[in-house]
Every structure is written in C-alpha cells, then in structure tokens.
A and B are shown apart, each in its own frame.
Chain A
Amino acid sequence: MTSLHKPGAAAGPRTGGPRRRRVRAGLPLPLLLPGVLALAFLLLPLLALLVRAPWRSLPAQLTSTEVWQALQLSLVSATAATAVSLVLGVPLAWLLARTDFPGRGLVRALVTLPLVLPPVVGGVALLLALGRNGIIGKWLDSWFGITLPFTAAGVVVAEAFVAMPFLVISVEGTLRAADPRFEEAATTLGASRFTAFRRVTLPLIAPGIAAGAVLAWARALGEFGATITFAGNFPGRTQTMPLAVYLALQNDPEAAISLSLVLLAVSIAVLAGLRDRWLTGT
C-alpha cells in the first residue's frame, strides 16, 4: 500500500538545491508529526493482518468449501453487478454528459447520493422498493413470480445499487473530457447519434469505462451493509466474502484473517492495475 504515497512525494515542490535543503531542514513539526502518525495509522492494521496471518494453515483455510463458496459468490456477484452497472450506467452517464434536460443538475446529485448514503440505509431502501411487499417488488412477485430479497440475485441488486454511481461518475467525467466534436464529425458522415456513440465515442472513452468498471467492481466486492440488509447472510447463497469475514471473526478468527488476506490481495491487485493502466494516464 506504500505506492499510494508516491504521487504525494512526486508532487512536492521542485526547487533548486540549496533552497530545497533549507525547506527540508525546516520541516514544520505540526505537519510532520500528524503526517507520520496518519501514515502509521493507515498502514499498521494492514501490517497486523500480515503479521498475525496463520500462514501455515492458510492453504487449508482457503480451500475449505465455505471459503470457496463465499469467494465464488463474491466474484460472480461483483462481476454481475459490474455488468449491470455498465449496461445501465454508461447510457446514464451519456445522458448526463451530452444532453440538456430540465433538472439535470438534480438528477446528477441524486445519482451520486448512493456514494455518500450509508449502505445499510441503501439496503433498507431496496427492501422497501424491491422487497416482497415493496412498491415494485409486490408486482414483480405477483406478476412474474420474481423475488429478489434474500437471493443471490438480490446480492447483485444490492451491490449494483452501491457500485453503479462510481461507474456513472467516472464515465461521465471521461465523457465530459472527450471532445464532443468527434460525434459531430460522425454525424456529418451520416451516423445517427447512437451510431456515433457506438462507433466513435465508446471506443474513445473505453479507458474511462474500464477504470469506472474496476472501481465499481472493487466497491461491489467489498459491499457489506446493503447486501446483508437486502440479501441476508445465507452461506452458499447470499454470503459474500465480507459477510463471511464478519461471521468468521466471531467463531473462527483465523478463518477471518485468511479471508481478509484474500480481499486485501484482490484490492492491491485492483489498485496496481488501475495505477499502471489508467490512473497514470499512459
């Protein structure tokens, strides 16, 4: 996780030699001390995780059925939630970035609301909307026989609800930065707005979409509050990794540590992937 701090170091003042030395000598204590404390605060828990990891029993832990089930469910549902976010979120991002409709600012604010909303509240809201007696869930149940809460599909719904805003915001930002005149050029060549989007805009903003998808996927993978509220915690059905970690902590701390290590490894992989491919802007 130390890589996180590299950009800050690189962004430091680029001054001449003598001056730089003077600045270094005069590093103000009121900034230096809390800064180092913050660094320790952020890194120590992760270090503890590594120190206390039951390295010897780790292979056995990770190959247990329960862990496999949770890991599998997590990966599948996070990927499905990301797919849902892509299919619905990219068009929404396009509407927000490229069209002008009354109340767009408000819509944009509402889209970002799940970013700051406590996930548990999101789960409760989902229950009220899509639950068996929810305002939409009622009809889904009686007309189509579809029940979402406390099912694997419910896990996907909860994760998509929390993760999609990340994708929308990321893609909308990329769209705003992309030159809309390419779409105009496509239009003058006879392309409809949809064709222009599909054949010109989409390939141009692909890196932004990929970055947004990775963020959304990582968010979905770690989703806890909305999932446990809306989908429950049934091993093998709705118990994702974060839920399994929480449960394991109460009766099998070693298993909890092992599972946490897996999630940590995934997070680091995501971060590394993002840094190398998209965030450094190569």
Chain B
Amino acid sequence: MTDIDAPKTGLAPADIREQGLDARLVVERGSFRLDVALAAAPGDVVALLGPNGAGKTTALRALAGLVPLTDGHLRLDGASLERTPAESRPVGVVFQDYLLFPHLSALDNVAFGPRCQGAGKAEARAQAAAWLDRMGLAGHSGAKPRHLSGGQAQRVALARALATRPRLLLLDEPLAALDARTRLEVRAQLRRHLAEFEAVAVLVTHDPLDAMVLADRLVVVEHGRVVQEGAPSDIARHPRTDYIAQLVGLNLYRGAAEGHTVRLDAGPSITTTEVLSGPVFVAFPPVAVTLFRDRPTGASARNLWRCEVAGLETHGDQIRADLTGELPLAADLTTVAAAELDLHPGAAVWATVKATQTHAYPA
C-alpha cells in the first residue's frame, strides 16, 4: 500500500505552476447559465457554498465529466480534461446520498474503482481493505450498504472515491444525509481525512458551518455566478450579499461613506467607527441592536431608527425580531426583554446600534 497516494493517472511531472485545479466552468441549460471560475493548489479544500438551485451541483458534475461544458476550460495538474470522458478523469466523487452499490459489500464497493483501473481481484480487495481500515471500518467490510449507518456509509463512500487515487476529490453535500448528532462526529472525521488528502478537494454545501469547518477557502455561488470568494473568516466578517449575511447572521447594508457617516442605499445614515469614503458595506450582528418602545431620551440620535415589528421567532434561546420601517433589520433579544417590551407583530419600536458594534468595509 505504499503507492496509495500516487496519482491515478500516469501524468508526467508537470511544471509546478501547473499543479492543481484551474477551471472555468460554463454550462448552459435552458435559461440557466452557470459560469464559475475555480482555481486551487494541491492540498486545498475549496467549498462551493450557495443556496439551492445556485448551480453548485452542476459545477461539481461538470468537474466530474457527468455534464459537458458549454464553454470554458478544465485543467488538472496541467492536463486539459474538457474532452476526457468521466471514466478516464482522475476525479473521485462522493455523492450526496453516497450511491453505494446496494448489491456489493462495503469491501467490494471500495474495490470497484481499483478493479476498473485494472487491478486484479485480490489486489483490488487488498487495497480496499486498507482503505476501510484507514476509515476505521475494518469490521464492516463484509456488510452490505443497507446494513451500514449513515456515518459508516459516508466513510465507505469516501474510501471508495479515494481508492481510485484521484487528483481531484469532489464531495456533494457530504453531510446532508446525516442526522444532527452523527453529523458532528462525521464532520470532524471528514475534516481530518480532507486534511490528509494531498490533491485538490472541492465540496459543495449549502451549510455555512460545514463549509467553514471543512474548507480552507469558500466560493459563494448565487444564480450560477461567483459572488464572493475567500477565507471563511474573511467572508463571515465581510459578507457581500444578503444571502451570505443571512448565513453568517449579520445585518448587511450597502451605502456611500463619507468619514464616519455612511448614507445607506436603504435611506437613513449610519455612524461607524471606520473612516472611509466611497461605496461601502456596513454590517452588524442582530445582538448589537437594542430596542425601545418609546423614543429613548438619553441616547444620542445617531443610529436610531423608527421601525415596526414584522415578525418574531425563537432563535436558539433568543427571540429574533424581524423589523421593517426606516431600516429593515434583524434584532436579537432575550425572551425577558421581549416580554417586557410587549413585542408583537405590528408593534412600533425604536432600534439603535452603537457605532462601535458596526463594521464598515469597502464594497
């Protein structure tokens, strides 16, 4: 098993700049157009994050060769793969519902790839056994997929994809099929396996937590386009679309800055600690918002807006108030505070945010 990490194809040692993934995926389907550029070095874990229907899975299928490219290019370790059929690409896929072959044991599922690559039956099974062992599944090699738990099936699927020694590992919603408790455990295991993986890994998810835990870099896709990419922490702090802001739980506004004041596109102005000029984003978390039923007398008039409660919902042990009015925003408050304020849909409130709790950055 010394050759376990050797590349799946006999690619010549390529120029160091030619290592990893360099792709521009254009797929047109009816009125939907996907146009996403992706680049990653070996060892990188990239997460494609986006709402349902954004085109993430289509991008993944295009990388795997299951969907033809309308346009663009796909290079992996310097080799062009656009015209390479799926079965010849050095690409491994972990499907959302795993798609383990129900008639084969866990061992034979994992041995399937090596067998297709020309290994003999005994050799393929030996490799498969080593992979299952690595995944901590040595005791389940004879089990049929229907007798595996969700977490075990996920690891068998990962072992099956890795057993072909791919140069690009694709994971489609790798944790979506698991229940909450298994998910936590499998996420940690998957993170470890991905960290060990020496080639490029691309995973698709709509769960920001999965993306942030598993990936070094996020590519946020909306309506078939990349709207933002960068390190998870950077994206969490500086969201550039409402979708990402909601994902990371922030109020996000676009506006024009002049010194400490930002005139928001939504209407009112907001005072920030940063000194900026030109188009900016302003973000602040819902817990930074304080609500009053009567106009607060002592507070300064800055960052004070007249709003109306549009809806209330429990959010963890907090109440999240959805506010409309001068400035649409989300505010989190304790149940006690919500009761004292006698909040109900339609109630008029004053909302305020301290300048120190806002964060402005260039758009």
Contact = CB atoms under 8 A, between A and B. Distances in A.
B64 interface: yes
Nearest to A202: B103
B258 interface: no
Given A181-B99, A204-B103, A188 B116 contact: no
A73 B103 CA distance: 37
Interface in A187-232: 187-193, 195, 199-200, 203-204
Interface residues of B, number: 24
Interface stretch (B88-96, B199-207, B231-239): B88-96
B164 A187 contact: no
B91 A186 contact: no
Given A181-B95, A184-B66, A199-B112, A190 B164 contact: yes
Contact of A188 (B86, B101, B102, B103): B86
Contact of A185 (B88, B89, B99): B99
Contact of A191 (B8, B89, B99, B112): B112
A188 B93 contact: yes
Contacts of A186: 101, 112, 116
B160 interface: yes
Contacts of B357: none
Given A190-B164, A191-B116, A199-B112, A185 B103 contact: no
Given A185-B95, A199-B112, A190 B103 contact: no
Nearest to B96: A181
A188 B112 contact: no
A182 B101 contact: yes
A170 to B, nearest CB: 20
B128 to A, nearest CB: 12
Interface string B261-290: 000000000000000000000000000000
A185 to B, nearest CB: 4
B113 interface: yes
Interface string A161-192: 00000000000000000010110111111111
Contacts of A203: 101, 103
Interface string A96-134: 000000000000000000000000000000000000000
A189 B99 contact: no
A182 B99 contact: yes
A187 B101 CA distance: 12
B117 interface: yes
B112 A187 contact: no
Given A181-B95, A195-B116, A189 B103 contact: no
Nearest to A182: B99
25 contacts: A181-B99, A182-B99, A184-B99, A185-B95, A186-B101, A186-B116, A187-B65, A187-B66, A187-B85, A187-B86, A187-B87, A188-B64, A188-B65, A188-B86, A189-B87, A190-B87, A190-B113, A190-B164, A191-B116, A193-B87, A199-B112, A200-B101, A203-B101, A204-B101, A204-B102
Interface of B: 8, 64-66, 85-89, 91-93, 95, 99, 101-103, 112-113, 116-117, 160-161, 164
Interface of A: 179, 181-182, 184-193, 195, 199-200, 203-204
Question: Nearest 9 A-B pairs (CB), nearest first?
Answer: A190-B116, A189-B113, A185-B99, A188-B93, A203-B103, A187-B86, A191-B116, A187-B87, A190-B117
